[in-house]
Amino acid sequence: MSRGNLKNQIASALEVPGEVAQDEVRLVISGNSLMTVENHKGLVEYDEKRISIRIKSHFLNIEGENLLLNNIHPDELALEGVFRSILFISREKD
């Protein structure tokens, strides 16, 4: 049995969402002004026009206006503002 398959079976038995068990990023976007990012690996850059977040094997870059980081926790952060673009940028494995 593969490690990924075992993780999926455990997640299913515990009723844990698959993206949490697999350590995948989860984005919840409401319109173009509210966003929650789950399973992030840290904040890289932050100002009112650009936010860069490290995720599993990418950077998540959000550009817009009046960007504000409302909450930050070890596994989740919440943003608001006017989102103009959301990009996934590949990065080298650490």
> Is pLDDT at 94 greater than 60 in this prediction?
no
| pLDDT score, position 93 | 60
Q: What average pLDDT does the structure give for the chain?
A: 84
Domains of the chain: residue spans and CATH: 25-90 (2.60.40.2000)
Please state, in angstroms and rounded to a whole number, the distance separating the CA atoms of residues 48 and 23: 28
Q: Of 71, 74, 75, 2, which is closest to residue 34 (Cα–Cα)?
A: 71
The proportion of the chain whose per-residue pLDDT surpasses 70, expressed as a percent, equals 74
pLDDT digits (tens, 9 = 90+) for 58-70: 999 999 999 999 9
pLDDT digits (tens, 9 = 90+) for 22-43: 578 999 999 999 999 999 999 9
